[in-house]
Structure 1
Amino acid sequence: MRAFLIRGPRDGAVVDVDPPVVGPGQVVVEVARVGLCGTDVELFAGTMPYLRSGAQTAPMIPGHEWVGTVCSVGAGVDPAWRGQRVTGDTMLGCGRCDRCRTGRHHVCDDRHEIGIRGNWPGALAERLLVPATALRALPDSVDDTAGALVEPGGCALRAVEAAHLGAGATACVFGPGTLGMLAAQFLVARGVTVDVVGVEPVGLELAGKLGAARVWLVDELPDHRYDAVIDTSNASTVPQLALRHVEPTGRLVLVGVAESPSLADLRDAVLADVTVVGILAASAGLDATIAEYAGGTVRTRPLVGATVGLRQVAEVLDGRRPAGAGPGPKILVDPREDYLG
């Protein structure tokens, strides 16, 4: 089958690889769409921390935001999965440790992460091997575009839930990327007044169209405090800035990861009695995200700027936006095609 293989820093190409062979408890999925995200960019650039620690090595097939159809099932797997449209959990715990046994498999020390950690091949290929326990069935009301955004949606929804806000509260979201746009929409659906902060007018304009009450360029953000602030950005300077905009006794939720260490003076959190929460992975939010997508809580299509073929992946990961792309921050890939657009 064809797959996009990262061979080293900024060295990626479409190659022929052996297709996955289904084993006991596993399924093979024919991939329909894959979302590209900042983690994939870091893997391609060679800057992702897992590459430094040895948790991931090249060559690798990336891709962890995906949707497709189960085409084969292994021994012990319900045959009813065959032909089912699905997405799945990126985080694959060992299943044996205390963390896995208590529902915290996403922080298992021995976990694989599809397309990210432990060299489990990712979804930027025609077919993907997945444990059946990681699968999530998709209703017809969740199309392939939305299905490929379930994983970032789960991260965004977990961040929103960690903010502990109800109707009438105020929130500020730093970063009008995919995570930020989804988080803002989840908050608006809960009756929260949301401001969005970013560095580019195009992204902020889209945030306003999707329900943000006000949008701000980061240098123009007034001295105002919110009941909660969610940082979905990848800027190392934002956590300290965000902390200064949290109302005393409020919450700062951190879901974005910067390439370099993010520094904040935690005395500010103590003196304002602020709760700081870190969010890793979508695992605990996948089912609820699918339900919210099916119910029309958020709009996913405006978030997609373009859909490209497999042979266009390298240029996107290298920072080149596809010609004719819309304002949406997310680029999807159809791995069944060489070129699109």
Structure 2
Amino acid sequence: MSPEAARSRSVVVDRPGEHRLVTGELPEPGPGEVLIEVAAAGLCLSDREVYDGHRDPGFVRYPLVPGHEWSGTVAAVGPGVDPALTGRRTVAEGFRSCGACERCRCGETSLCTSGYAETGFTEPGAFADHLTVPARLLHLLADDADLRAAALLEPAAVVAAAVRCGRPGPGGRIAVVGAGTLGLLAVQLLAAFSPAELTVVDPRAPRGEQARRFGATRALTPDEARSAYGHFDLVVETAGAPTTAAESCLLARRGGRVVLTGMFAPGAAGIDPVHLSLSQLEVRSVFGAPSSAWSQAVRAFGLGLLDPGPLITHEFPLERFGEAIALVGGGDPATGKVLLRP
């Protein structure tokens, strides 16, 4: 390999608001690791929080190479890893769970008690030409998989975790609050359960129209949704807006289920404990995704039940990271998923 080919670029956020494009040595996979050649990496609001310095200090380590939503190809393997993985298309879990604690052994790998570690937040991420990850976290894709669309399998895994918590069944009445990336992926997965109603709540009319194309039966604004309070068997909240957790509980019928997947900021409206008690609601929250949810998302992608590709609206090279991150969270309804393409 030529000296030029052995180099690798990465976007480094030194501190909030400051980034640079760095060229260095090609990373070496250690024991049990693989080297990934990144095909595409998605930007989300969590990345914007990292860049702006708004993420909880316990969940980020500066300086940092962000990028937790990605797809790529195994370029090399480290000691102890099957060489047959080389050349395979893949994604990988972000949480660096230990696999040995009680929660991991129960299959709850997103609740690992060995301390928080996650690709793109505390470990080098995929806003780079290459990254290294533990081989045990890989979820292999078909040889002809669309790697551009596969970059969204991380948020799809979060949605799969929410769906598992919500236990949808055929003929159910389901609402999805928020029609961003998580919400539109949730519509696709939930439509596969043949609900009688699949309603999306979002103030943006274009997003409601897109949700209907993905399988929603109707789209409501938050004001219109007030007429449906107490109606739904399952409500999946994906927006993380200040009022959406409380409003999601109001949308659920008595005895219904609410799953919160949005990332809420301090000061968000609280859930009324009186309503919670009298309505006998079951409320769950999702942060990240366990291995089982990753497997479900990857299977749904392979079967064509999940197609994240239409959510992508912008693609940038690494050199234009500043432009890409400025679009995220800007409020433009024409901006969907933004990708970096090394």
Fold-level similarity (TM above 0.5): yes
Tell me: CA distance 1:285–1:261, structure 2 relative to 1, closer, same or farther (3 Å): farther
Of 100-109 and 174-183, the range deviating more from structure 2:
100-109
| Structure 1 counterpart of 2:143, from 140, 144, 149 | 140
Please say if residues 38 and 73 of structure 2, whose CA atoms lie closer than 8 Å, have aligned partners that are also in contact.
yes
Tell me: CA distance 1:320–1:328, structure 2 relative to 1, closer, same or farther (3 Å): closer
2:96 is equivalent to residue 92 of structure 1:
yes
Match of 2:5 in 1: none
Match of 1:161 in 2: 164
Task: Give the % identical residues.
Answer: 33
Give the gaps of 5 or more residues in structure 2.
1-7
Match of 1:259 in 2: 265
Please say if residues 198 and 204 of structure 1, whose CA atoms lie closer than 8 Å, have aligned partners that are also in contact.
yes
What one-letter code is carried by the residue in structure 2 that aligns with 1:243? C
What one-letter code is carried by the residue in structure 1 that aligns with 2:117? H
Equivalent runs, 1:106-185 vs 2, <5 Å: 106-109=110-113, 110-116=115-121, 119-140=122-143, 142-185=145-188
What's the offset of the Cα at 1:316? 2.4
Match of 1:339 in 2: none
Of 94-103 and 32-41, the range deviating more from structure 2:
94-103
| Structure 2 counterpart of 1:79, from 63, 72, 83 | 83
Q: Distance in 1 between matches of 2:225 and 2:324?
A: 31
Q: Distance in 2 between matches of 1:260 and 1:245?
A: 23
Q: Distance in 2 between matches of 1:141 and 1:204?
A: 31
2:64 is equivalent to residue 57 of structure 1:
no
Match of 1:338 in 2: none
Match of 1:303 in 2: 311
Please say if residues 33 and 148 of structure 1, whose CA atoms lie closer than 8 Å, have aligned partners that are also in contact.
yes
Deviations 1:218-269 (A, max 9, x none): 2332421211111100202111111111011110000111222432112212
SS of match in other structure, 2:248: helix
| Structure 1 counterpart of 2:42, from 27, 35, 38 | 35
Q: Distance in 2 between matches of 1:96 and 1:287?
A: 19
Deviations 1:32-67 (A, max 9, x none): 010111111110110011x2x3x4221100001111
What's the offset of the Cα at 1:201? 2.0
What's the offset of the Cα at 1:173? 0.6
Equivalent runs, 1:228-307 vs 2, <5 Å: 228-262=234-268, 263-283=270-290, 284-307=292-315
SS of match in other structure, 1:114: coil
SS of match in other structure, 2:210: helix
Q: Distance in 2 between matches of 1:89 and 1:261?
A: 30
Give the gaps of 5 or more residues in structure 1.
336-341
What's the offset of the Cα at 1:21? 1.6
Q: TM-score, normalised by structure 2?
A: 0.91
Q: Distance in 2 between matches of 1:321 and 1:38?
A: 6
Please say if residues 62 and 122 of structure 1, whose CA atoms lie closer than 8 Å, have aligned partners that are also in contact.
yes
Q: Distance in 2 between matches of 1:67 and 1:245?
A: 36
Please say if residues 203 and 329 of structure 1, whose CA atoms lie closer than 8 Å, have aligned partners that are also in contact.
no
Aligned residues: 328
Q: Distance in 2 between matches of 1:141 and 1:188?
A: 25
SS of match in other structure, 2:36: strand
RMSD, aligned CA: 1.9
What's the offset of the Cα at 1:112? 1.3
Match of 2:4 in 1: none
SS of match in other structure, 2:132: strand
What's the offset of the Cα at 1:315? 2.2
Q: Distance in 1 between matches of 2:30 and 2:89?
A: 20
